Amino acid sequence: MKTKTLDKETFKDAIRVAFEDDNAIFLLYCPNIKVNTLDDIVNDVSNRIRTDVTDATVKGIYEGDKLIGYYVYDLPHKLLVSFGLNKGYRSRKYLNKFWACIRSDLKGMFQCFLWTRNGRGIKWLQKNGMKIAATDSLITLLIS
């Protein structure tokens, strides 16, 4: 598994690849945004990051030459902003490598805000050692 910094269009491809065939994502997504299709999610994620995260670094995750996911971080603010891995690669082997890639860029303490309804993402971050620092009905903050 390797990473590569992505441009805007390849980032959209990475979001699409990360969540294709993942019907559960619609129930885990922002409760204030109506998403009906994968394209709705692709556009919302890419637009939010472009407009809301001025210091975003976008990394694609590759297995060989195949794009299988992405993660976005803001190093100055030590923040994991967004992440996703294709459903076919969500086995322990690949998830451990995915986490190692994230940790290679975000060393030491960092934080991540997730929608509270995204129990899947919260549990995965906890499994990798992050702790819930604060939570309410909308947002959960985890710290490493």
Which residue ranges make up each domain of the chain?
2-105
Tally the residues of the chain. 144
**What confidence score (pLDDT) does residue 60 get?**
98
Other CB atoms closer than 10 Å to residue 70's CB: what's the count?
26
110: its two tokens: 């960092």
Residue 53 Cα to chain centre, angstroms: 14
pLDDT in tens, 21-69: 999 999 899 888 899 999 999 999 999 999 999 899 999 999 999 999 9
At residue 8, the pLDDT reads: 87
Question: What average pLDDT is seen over the chain?
Answer: 95
Q: Which residue has the tokens 């030459």?
A: 65
Identify the residue whose tokens are 């959209």.
12
Q: Topology of domain 2-105, per CATH?
A: Aminopeptidase (3.40.630)
| Rounded percentage of the chain residues whose pLDDT exceeds 90 | 92
Task: Return the closest-CA partner of residue 70 out of 144, 6, 123.
Answer: 6
Confidence band, pLDDT 50/70/90 cuts, at residue 129: very high
Task: Look at phi and psi of residue 78 and say left if phi exceeds 0, alpha if psi is from -120 to 50, else beta.
Answer: left
